[in-house]
Amino acid sequence: MEDSKAVVLSHEGLSKLQEELDYLRNVKRKEVAERLKEARSLGDLSENSEYDDARNEQAFVEGRIIQLENTLRNATVIEEAPARGTGEVRLGSVVRLKDLEYGDMLEYTLVGSVEADPARAKISNESPVGRAILGKAKGTVVEVEAPAGNIKYEIIEVL
């Protein structure tokens, strides 16, 4: 496990991870302990599926707590969206791209890998598109290596 990998987070991402950690430590851990206690009271643990389920959940919760603690320990908080007018794509930037082959317009927010959520148009700075646009300016054409072949995008706007 890479415990010392630097992690970049927005203020929002940091807050969400801290809230999740707090919930797991102070609520979920107690719920699982109660489930274990109830399952133990049912008797024979060797054939007790409730006990096995509770132990599995406990292992998951404890593993997630360790993962969150490591992430937060190595986190660097980025400034929110850079000042408009700089024109350079940075973490936190909202970027509008034009697919030069098909003319499709795309809009992404560039975030650290921990916060990436492609379904919500938040792409990682470590993704192929993220790496290609990071540090580039409006008007720049970038080429992204994709499984189906190279894709060319023009950076239309950086917010």
Tell me what pLDDT residue 4 has.
67
Q: What is the mean pLDDT of residues 63-75?
A: 95
59: enclosing H helix or E strand: helix 49-73
Cα distance between residue 126 and residue 37, in whole Å: 44
Residue 130 has pLDDT above 90, yes or no: yes
Tell me what pLDDT residue 1 has.
45
pLDDT in tens, 88-123: 899 889 999 999 999 999 999 999 999 999 999 999
Angle at 25 between CA 7 and CA 64, to 5 degrees: 45
User: What is the SS3 assignment for 98-129?
Assistant: EECCCCCEEEEEEECCCCCEHHHCEEECCCHH
The yes-or-no answer to whether 7-77 and 94-158 have a common fold is no
The residue type at 127? S
Decide which of 2.40.50.40, 1.10.287.180, 1.10.3720.10, 3.40.190.10 is the CATH code for 7-77: 1.10.287.180
pLDDT in tens, 72-93: 999 988 876 555 556 789 988 9
pLDDT in tens, 26-61: 999 999 999 999 988 887 777 778 889 999 999 999
Residue 3 has pLDDT above 70, yes or no: no
**pLDDT over 70, % of the chain:** 93
Look at residues 78, 79, 84, 93 and name the one whose alpha carbon lies nearest to residue 135.
Answer: 93
Please count the residues of the chain: 159
Beta carbons of 38 and 50 less than 8 angstroms apart: yes
- Would you list the domain boundaries of the chain? 7-77, 94-158
Question: How is domain 94-158 classified at the CATH fold level?
Answer: Chitinase A; domain 3 (3.10.50)
Look at residues 152, 149, 115, 148 and name the one whose alpha carbon lies nearest to residue 136.
Answer: 152
The predicted model scores a pTM of 0.73
